[in-house]
Amino acid sequence: MTHQKPLISYSLQNLAEQFTVDCKGNTACIITGIAPLDKAKEGDISFLAQAKYRQFLASTQASAVILNAQEAANFAGNCLVTENPQLLHAKVASLFATISHIQTGVHVSAVIGKDGSIANSASVGANCVVGDRVVIAENVKLYPGCVIGDDCVIGEETCLYPNVTLYHQVRIGRRVIIHSGAVLGADGFGLVNNRGIWHKVPQLGGVVIEDDVEIGANTTIDRGALENTVLEVGVKLDNLIHVAHNVRIGAHTAIAATTVIAGSTQIGKHCMIGGGVAISDHLTIADQVILKGKTEVASSITESGSYASGMLAQPSREWQKNIIRFLQLDALARRLQKLEKSIK
């Protein structure tokens, strides 16, 4: 595995044509990198997507800036003009990303099971273990140390970074990215109690990951108890997320780190879930719901919109006073009820 640094530079005109956007200023200026407005130097391109960074626009040393039409009208320098500067920034940044390459073919140290198929264009890195009846499609990349259980299917152009583990019967779609340490298909937390002793409930379902999903490092997705755990098209998961058995996450939902989703919960499409959110089991979350960081969800959410819970940071002395008042609320409520009855 080798690391290749970008050696190509781009003219502003070339970038405008490549991404079908307008440009202003010196279209021949050369872009060799990308940087924030306040840290950019000659040769860099930067972008402005939030008003709080406008203060750096006049003094930036960037050779060009990605702007919306309103900002571009008042900017004297070189710029690319687009409706969504943040999106264009992401596309331009991809041109300068360092790429880790892996050689096509099966490494000599890999262990390959029987009765499966591996496309000629696929890459299976050092010390990978691939089980029986596994299907690996065209241009799949398995970086070193990946473990693929029996009867898994991995779709075209999917990339598994080092030390990803797929248990048996996991189905991965096309163009999926799974980062290091992720585990898909471990048993769900299925237990039944009999006279104080826990008995394991066999987890007989699988995991289905649809196309264009990204799964962060050390994220875990449990297999279903009877049916599958499913991530629909375009779902994006951050690092260190836990998805329990039989959860279904709707298309194009994005979830930030350390969120936990308990079993059999159904999350809608186009949701945005912040970091550290806790969602209880057997709930339904509607489409286009925003859950702010640290929100605790204990009942279903049936209408789209933004939801939050928890207490924001405050000075310790104030927090201590407020906690004491919170603990006194029940007694105060009872006194108020007695007072209301006496007045009536």
Which domains does the chain carry? 2-99 (3.40.1390.10), 104-307 (2.160.10.10)
Average pLDDT over residues 66-70: 96
pLDDT for the residue 125: 97
* Structural contact between residues 102 and 112, judged by C-beta atoms closer than 8 angstroms: no
Tell me the β-bridge partners of 67. 81
* Structural contact between residues 135 and 154, judged by C-beta atoms closer than 8 angstroms: yes
pLDDT for the residue 98: 79
The Cα-based distances of 50 to 37, 46, 272 in angstroms read 12, 13, 19
Strands (DSSP E) found in 44-182: 44-47, 64-67, 79-81, 99-101, 105-106, 111-112, 117-118, 123-124, 129-130, 135-136, 141-142, 147-148, 153-154, 159-160, 165-166, 170-172, 177-178
Highest mean pLDDT among 40-54, 114-128, 315-329: 114-128
Nearest to 31 by CA among 82, 73, 23, 53: 23
Question: What are 17-58's pLDDT values in tens digits?
Answer: 999 999 999 999 999 999 999 999 999 999 998 889 999 999
Collapsing DSSP to helix, strand or coil, 159 comes out as: strand
At residue 100 the predicted structure's pLDDT band, cuts being 50, 70 and 90, is confident
Catalytic residues: 245
Residue 284 token pair: 């339904």
Question: What are 263-286's pLDDT values in tens digits?
Answer: 999 999 999 999 999 999 999 999
pLDDT for the residue 8: 78
Question: What are 146-173's pLDDT values in tens digits?
Answer: 999 999 999 999 999 999 999 999 999 9
Residue 176 token pair: 């999926």
Sequence-ordered alpha helix ranges (H) in 64-131 = 69-73, 85-94
Nearest to 271 by CA among 296, 252, 298, 248: 252
The Cα-based distances of 75 to 42, 57, 108 in angstroms read 17, 8, 57
DSSP letter (8 states) at residue 88: H
Name the residue type at position 180: S
Nearest-angstrom CA–CA distance, 195 and 326:
38
DSSP-derived secondary structure for 265-281 = -EE-TT-EE-TT-EE-T
Residue 190 token pair: 């299925």
pLDDT for the residue 6: 47
> What's the whole-model pTM score?
0.90
pLDDT for the residue 99: 74
Res. 2: pLDDT tops 50: no
Sequence-ordered alpha helix ranges (H) in 191-328 = 316-327
